[in-house]
Amino acid sequence: MRAVGRSFNAGTDLCLAAKSDGTVLAAPCDGQNRQNWHLRLGGPDRQAGNLINDQTGQCLDSNPQGQVFTRPVCRIRSSRKTWIGLESCTTGVVWWEDEATLRFLTTYADGSVDTQPQRPTHTLQQWYLGGWSFC
């Protein structure tokens, strides 16, 4: 497992967080454990795996409609639970792509989170990792 720590959004300065009921949201970065995530790597790709919330122990997941949530069962390389971290080594920006839907984790100023088709210059899809890098 690789520590991600807090993943905060470049466009909103909010941190990705999860609740035990499966709700995923973006909230002001306050150091609470619900905002800490680990990446459990899967297979030979060192940038892909399950994003697991430290507080709930649940995996980040999404569906083709763009809804984002967590689920209690994490299986490496299972449908929709594998996320690929695409990082710019010059800027440190990471784009989280759902391997199954090919949609990207997106957040908004109101704290809502969904997935959308990739827009590389869209800051609402750009994330920074607290404490480590893929590069």
How far is it, in rounded angstroms, from Cα 82 to Cα 77? 6
22 belongs to a structural domain:
yes
Q: Would 134 be classed as within a structural domain?
A: no
Residue 135 forms part of a structural domain: no
CATH of the domain at 116: 2.80.10.50
Q: Is residue 78 part of a domain?
A: yes
Kindly report, residue by residue over 3-54, the tens digit of the pLDDT: 667 888 999 999 999 999 999 999 999 989 999 998 887 655 567 888 899 9
In a domain, residue 68? The reply is yes
pLDDT tens-place string over residues 101-110 = 999 999 999 9
Q: What is the pTM of this model?
A: 0.89
Query: How many domains does the chain fold into?
Result: 1
- List the domain range (segments joined by +) for residue 90: 2-129
| DSSP for 41-64, written as a single string | EETTEEEEEEEEETTT-PEEEE-T
